[in-house]
Structure formats: structure tokens, C-alpha cells
Amino acid sequence: MKRRFFIFFLNITAFIIAGIILLLGGCTAPDHEGFAIYLTKGDIPPEKLSVLSHADIVAKPVIAMDDIVAYNAGTHEITLTASAFDRISSLEVPGQGKSFMVCVDKKLIYSGAFWTPVSSFSFDGVTIWKPLSSQDSRIIKLELGYPSPSFYAGEDPRSNAEVIKSLERAGKLSTVPSPTTLEKLPHSMKGYELYSWLEDGQWHFTLITGTNRTKTMEEIVSTTDNLSEDGWVSIHVVGADAIKTVLSRLPQGESIFWCDELHIGQTTGTNTDIQLPPEQITDAIKEHAERCGLDFAITVY
């Protein structure tokens, strides 16, 4: 009888010990996943995010750390792997956006929304524009507002210290120089487009990388300068002398197309009239470009 009790006691003790080991093992903290972007559970509409005290995330991130090739801390551009870029490109994004949450180790840092560049709705939060089918690079960008940064409200959360530290620790963080400080601008396979308009009595100019796709008016009149890792350039200046300085930084032989309304697409949110300056200003800029060795053409429609 004592022997049976002793064996029963040993079995119970072993069972308890095994349970404790399993319990402790189950409570062990998982590996830190670091920076990741999640969709919201239940697909919460972007306009409701600001009024909710809590929102759950889905089980797996739509962009995980392993999906990221590089994150540019200056421009907040994310270079993705081919499979991750295809995933984002095929994401179904309605006209009023699709909510996402930027997390570090599943802790919410800030929220935003995927947005389609053909949407007629504006948004005052952080956005990721769904890539266009004609896009050559595998880069997406965390933008402020839609259709332009002027629609954004609040402070910029993108340089959050936890986000930057997580990306740096994973070896994903990179930087590129600002287009305003770069001595020479990069060559563009499809040349550059130049746009001009009159605003408050001053002539404004935007030099932007040439593409086959149409530009939005908001993209043209944006005052945010940009130089991406894949060579995309957008520079806004005021005054003829300022645009001459920008043109001087282009490689010799570069093609420039000065457009009035060519390649202008969506015009929501602005009544800016893209046009050429008076002939005297136009000729002076053209002559300067030719002295710089640029292939300069003016297109008038």
C-alpha cells in the first residue's frame, strides 16, 4: 500500500513539474519582431481611427521586418522585397482608404491608411499610396496627408525614436542626401519635366523626374522637396534665378521638357493654373539651360 502511494506521489510530482515547465515555457517572451505594419482587425475605416481608444491588429503584419530591404530615415521611403511589393500592389484599397498600424514589437506607435492615388477623398493622417502599375521601383513611402501634405493635421510621427531604433538595430536604416544640398542631381532615363505657375505675384517652378504616367496637380505644386533612393527627384523653387540654379545642377545632355498642362492628371484640391511665364522670363531660363548643355524643350498646347 505504501509502495503504491509512493509511486502515485512520484507520478503526481512529475506531472506537476512537467506542467510548471510547460507553463514557464509558454510565458517566455517571443522574439522581438521590431518594426512592422499591420492591418486592423475588422478593417476599421480610417476616419474612425482617431475616435477609437483601442483597435486590434490582425495576426500577421502586411509588412514585416523581413519584407524591408531598406528604410530611408530622411524621406520615409521603404524599399521592399519583390514579394512584399507585389503584396502591397495587389492590396484592395477603397477610395476612402484602408487603415494600417505602425508597430514596434506589436506595440502601436501610430496609425495611418493605405490610399489609392485616384481617390477623390482627402485624408489628414499618415498615408501609404498604393503603387501604380507602371511603377518601376519597389519603393513605397509613408506620406503626410492626401492628396498633399497641406491636408495633414498634427505632428509628424514618422521619426519616432522606437521606430528608428528598431530599424537601425535590424540593419535596415539608410539615408540619402536632400535634393537641396546635393551638388549634382542624378540622370533620369526619361528626362525631367518642368512646370511653372504664378502665385501671389511670384513665379513658382517644380522640376520633377519624367515618367509615362500622368502627374497629379498636387504632386506638381507640392512644396516638399524629394530625392528618393531610386533617383526620383522633385524640387520646388520660387523665382527665375532659383530655377536657373537648379538646372545648373543637372548633368550635361539631360533632357528637360517645360510643360504647360502636359502630363497633368488629377486636379482635386487646387485651382493652380499651370502656365509659362512671360516671354522674357521664358527665354532667359531657356538660354541658361542651353548654356548648361541641357537638351531643353518647351511644349505649348
What are the boundaries of each domain within the chain?
Answer: 35-174, 192-299
| 94 vs 236: CA distance, rounded Å | 31
> What local confidence, expressed as pLDDT, does residue 301 receive?
57
DSSP state of 59: S
The torsion defined by the Cα of 73, 75, 79 and 80, in degrees rounded to 10, comes to: 90
- Grid coordinates belonging to 2: 505504501
> What local confidence, expressed as pLDDT, does residue 11 receive?
54
In the sheet that 68-72 helps form, which strands lie side by side, from edge to edge? 35-39, 98-104, 107-115, 123-129, 139-146, 77-80, 68-72, 173-174
> What local confidence, expressed as pLDDT, does residue 211 receive?
80
Indicate the pTM of the whole model: 0.56
Q: Helices 240-247 & 279-291, crossing angle to 10 degrees?
A: 20
> What local confidence, expressed as pLDDT, does residue 27 receive?
33
Distances (CA, A) of 1 to 4, 6, 7, 11, 14: 5, 9, 10, 15, 20
| 246 vs 206: CA distance, rounded Å | 10
> What local confidence, expressed as pLDDT, does residue 56 receive?
87
> What local confidence, expressed as pLDDT, does residue 195 receive?
94
Pure H helices in the chain: 2-27, 46-49, 82-89, 161-169, 217-221, 240-247, 279-291
Query: Is the distance from CB of 110 to CB of 161 less than 8 angstroms?
Result: no
Query: Is the distance from CB of 92 to CB of 136 less than 8 angstroms?
Result: no
| 120 vs 125: CA distance, rounded Å | 15
Q: Which residues of 61-92 are buried (b: 16+ CB within 10 A; e: fewer)?
A: bbbebebbbbbbbebbbbbbeeebbeebeebe
Residue-level pLDDT, tens digit, the chain, 301 residues? 545 544 444 455 544 544 444 444 433 334 588 999 999 999 999 988 776 767 888 999 999 999 999 998 878 889 899 999 999 999 999 999 999 999 999 999 999 999 998 888 999 999 999 987 555 578 899 999 988 888 888 889 999 999 999 999 999 988 665 555 556 888 888 899 999 999 888 999 999 998 877 777 877 887 777 777 667 888 888 899 989 989 999 999 999 999 876 555 544 445 778 899 999 999 999 999 999 999 999 876 5
Lookup result for grid cell 512644396? 223
> What local confidence, expressed as pLDDT, does residue 178 receive?
53
